[in-house]
Amino acid sequence: MAGTDRPLVAVENLSVEFVSREATVHAVSGVSFTLEKGEVLGILGESGSGKSVTLRALMRLLPRGKARISGRVEVAGRDIMALDDQALSKVRGATAAMIFQEPMTALDPVFTIGDQIVEAILRHEPVGRAEAVRRALELLELVQIPSAKRRLDAYPHQLSGGLRQRAMIAIALSCRPALLLADEPTTALDATVQIQVLLLLRRLQQELGTAMIFVTHDLGVAVEVSHRLAVMYAGRFVETGAVAEVAKRPKHPYTEGLLGSTVHEVPKGTRLTPIPGSPPNLAALPPGCSFALRCRYADARCTREVPPPLRVGSSGRHEHVTRCIHPERVGSAEAVTT
Are the C-beta atoms of residues 78 and 90 closer than 8 Å to each other? no
> What residue spans define the domains of the chain?
9-95+177-329, 106-176
Write out the DSSP string of 214-261. EEES-HHHHHHH-SEEEEEETTEEEEEEEHHHHHHS--SHHHHHHHHT
What's the rounded Cα separation, in Å, for the pair 259 and 137?
Answer: 41
- Tell me: pLDDT of 336 over 70: no
Q: How confident is the model at residue 263 (pLDDT cuts 50, 70, 90)?
A: low
Q: Are strands 211-216 and 179-183 parallel, antiparallel or unpaired?
A: parallel
Provide CB contacts within 8 A for 287, sequence distance 6+: 303, 304, 306
What is the tens place of the pLDDT at every residue in 152-161? 999 999 999 8
- Tell me: pLDDT of 189 over 90: no
What global pTM score does this model have?
0.90
What's the rounded Cα separation, in Å, for the pair 308 and 238?
Answer: 9
Instruction: Compute the residue count for the chain.
Output: 338
Task: Tell me the average pLDDT across 288-304.
Answer: 95
211 CB neighbour count, 10 Å cutoff: 24
What's the rounded Cα separation, in Å, for the pair 189 and 166?
Answer: 11
What is the tens place of the pLDDT at every residue in 65-106? 899 999 999 999 999 999 999 999 999 999 999 998 887 888
pLDDT of residue 106: 86
What's the rounded Cα separation, in Å, for the pair 26 and 21?
Answer: 14
* Residue 58 C-beta-side C-alpha neighbours within 13 Å: 32
What is the tens place of the pLDDT at every residue in 214-252? 999 888 888 889 999 999 999 999 999 999 999 999 999
What's the rounded Cα separation, in Å, for the pair 262 and 254?
Answer: 13
- pLDDT > 90 fraction of the chain, expressed in percent and rounded: 72
Phi-psi group of 313: left, alpha or beta (phi > 0 → left; psi -120 to 50 → alpha; rest → beta):
left
pLDDT of residue 136: 96
- Tell me: pLDDT of 262 over 80: no
pLDDT of residue 264: 64
Are the C-beta atoms of residues 93 and 76 closer than 8 Å to each other? no
Strands of the 318-322 sheet, one edge to the other: 96-99, 179-183, 211-216, 40-44, 228-233, 236-242, 318-322, 310-315
Task: Tell me the average pLDDT across 145-155.
Answer: 95
**CATH assignment of 9-95+177-329?**
3.40.50.300
- Tell me: pLDDT of 338 over 80: no
Are the C-beta atoms of residues 215 and 236 closer than 8 Å to each other? no
Q: How confident is the model at residue 186 (pLDDT cuts 50, 70, 90)?
A: confident
Round the average pLDDT of the chain to a whole number and report it: 90
Q: What is the DSSP letter of 268?
A: T
pLDDT of residue 193: 83
**For residue 215, which of 231, 193, 203 has the smallest C-alpha distance?**
231
pLDDT of residue 266: 65
Are the C-beta atoms of residues 162 and 189 closer than 8 Å to each other? yes
Write out the DSSP string of 76-98. TTEEGGG--HHHHHHHHHHTEEE
